[in-house]
Amino acid sequence: MNAQLDPQIRHDWNEQEVQALFDLPFNDLLFRAQSIHRTYFDPNEVQVSTLLSIKTGACPEDCKYCPQSAHYNTGLEKQRLMEVEAVLNKAKEAKAKGSTRFCMGAAWKNPNKRDMPYVLEMVKGVKAMGLETCMTLGMLNEEQAGELAEAGLDYYNHNLDTSPDYYDQIITTRTYSDRLDTLQHVRDSGMKICSGGIIGMGERKKDRIGLLAQLANLPVHPESVPINMLVKVKGTPLEDVEDLDPIDFVRCIAVARILMPKSHVRLSAGREDMSDEMQAMCFMAGANSIFYGECLLTTPNPEAHKDMQLFKRLGLRPEQAIVDHNDDEQAEVLSKQVQKNDQNQPFYDASV
């Protein structure tokens, strides 16, 4: 098999190899990313998550891109930790609207002891609805990771944000190795990892290479890799940073897909600033997950919604979460997936 089309899972990427991917002609890069994507995923399915901020603003960290940091005055309305019941009501709504994963985010340096019982109740309640659960609460120690895992948390989000070299230009209140430690605690607890970064913070190409190599060289690839495009918020130190070339962003998605073939690569923050054509290009490059805000996947009139219109135009479908099914249904879903993979096979034979 042509080495360029060999979708092996690797954890030993060096920066020259990643740079060589970035340097490929755009069409070659996209073709390679799309070929790998088809080996592991249905290319026309996109996983859909809903995100809820359960505690907003007043964060002691100084992440230069973030309107929730207490270090910057962005006029953001702060909100204390939400009541458990209110969170569960939001999750119920998200499920009714077609989301399969419910992500809860709190702007903390780390969760404190007082908050943990509420957070654990939220996890249990959302899980009991048959939704996949995800949280982002800042740094975790080993014990907290264990408690969350025991409560049924499926995913923990903790981004690396950028390369180790550029990191201290963006955050000074926690170190890169703090982040890696949290990821290790999450992995050790048995939860899945959601970890990615932000593109467009004034970083150089070598920092994008460094970020993606770092993620790909983790002992296990994160199951979810959010690739965010910086949203420039007035009042943050990055409000005037130079605009990102959309083609460079698509390249990052494609390289992430090649480096981490089995991960869900998520179009995350910044999607609202992307044109339909740019999003289509990102799906082509291997993105297969999005956050879906207050929108209706199962609304009687889905055409009314912009995202659903785009899905329709592109022939995309929301991916179904296997947690929604009982054992028999799950077996059926898996067997359909196997059949689909078999049907996809000739594509690869033909393209080698």
Q: Assess 24 for contact with ligand SF4 (CB under 6 A).
A: no
Our answer to whether residue 194 is catalytic in this structure is yes
Taking the complex as a whole, how short is the minimal distance between the CB of residue 72 and ligand SF4, in angstroms?
9
Nearer to ligand SF4, 68 or 189 (CB): 68
Q: Are 181 and 143 in contact (CB under 8 A)?
A: no
Is 59 one of the annotated binding-site residues? yes
Strands 192-194, 197-199: pairing is unpaired
Is 174 one of the annotated binding-site residues? no
Q: Are 182 and 158 in contact (CB under 8 A)?
A: yes
Nearer to ligand SF4, 76 or 323 (CB): 76
- Which of 32, 38, 101, 103 is labelled catalytic? 103
- Which of 59, 252, 282, 295 is labelled catalytic? 59
Nearest to 14 by CA among 166, 184, 214, 163: 214
- Which of 38, 66, 208, 252 is labelled catalytic? 66
Our answer to whether residue 103 is catalytic in this structure is yes
Is 282 one of the annotated binding-site residues? no
**What does residue 264 show for φ and ψ, rounded to 5 degrees?**
-80, 120
- Which of 32, 134, 179, 257 is labelled catalytic? 134
Is 295 one of the annotated binding-site residues? no
Q: What's the CA gap between 150 and 147, in Å, rounded?
A: 5
Residues 6+ apart with CB under 8 A from 320: 100, 333
Is 63 one of the annotated binding-site residues? yes
Is 103 one of the annotated binding-site residues? yes
Q: What's the CA gap between 250 and 74, in Å, rounded?
A: 29
Nearer to ligand SF4, 34 or 182 (CB): 182
Q: What's the CA gap between 308 and 301, in Å, rounded?
A: 10
Q: Are 319 and 288 in contact (CB under 8 A)?
A: yes
In this chain, which stretch among 19-27, 58-66, 145-153, 179-187 interacts with ligand SF4, using CB under 6 A? Answer: 58-66
* Candidate list 51, 88, 91, 107; residue touching ligand SF4; CB under 6 A: 107
Our answer to whether residue 63 is catalytic in this structure is yes
Q: Assess 61 for contact with ligand SF4 (CB under 6 A).
A: yes
Our answer to whether residue 266 is catalytic in this structure is yes
Q: Assess 138 for contact with ligand SF4 (CB under 6 A).
A: yes
State the CB neighbour count (10 A cutoff) for residue 348: 15
Nearest to 289 by CA among 132, 55, 91, 184: 132
* Candidate list 21, 24, 66, 287; residue touching ligand SF4; CB under 6 A: 66
Nearer to ligand SF4, 34 or 56 (CB): 56
In sequence order, which ranges of 138-245 are alpha helices (DSSP H)?
Answer: 142-151, 176-189, 205-216
* Candidate list 68, 195, 263, 268; residue touching ligand SF4; CB under 6 A: 68
Q: How many residues bind ligand SF4 (CB under 6 A)?
A: 8
Q: Assess 69 for contact with ligand SF4 (CB under 6 A).
A: yes
First to last CA, the chain: 7
- Which of 32, 208, 257, 266 is labelled catalytic? 266
Nearer to ligand SF4, 58 or 323 (CB): 58
In this chain, which stretch among 64-72, 124-132, 207-215, 302-310 interacts with ligand SF4, using CB under 6 A? Answer: 64-72
The three-point CA angle 228-109-269 to 5° equals 15
Q: What's the CA gap between 265 and 334, in Å, rounded?
A: 21
Strand stretches in the chain, DSSP E: 45-55, 101-106, 132-136, 155-157, 192-194, 197-199, 224-229, 264-267, 289-291, 317-318
Taking the complex as a whole, how short is the minimal distance between the CB of residue 98 and ligand SF4, in angstroms?
27
**Residue ranges of the binding site:** 59, 63, 66, 103, 134, 194, 266
Residues in touch with ligand SF4 (CB under 6 A): 59, 61, 63, 66, 68-69, 107, 138
Cite the active site residues. Answer: 59, 63, 66, 103, 134, 194, 266
**Residue ranges of the binding site for [2Fe-2S] cluster:** 103, 134, 194, 266
**Residue ranges of the binding site for [4Fe-4S] cluster:** 59, 63, 66
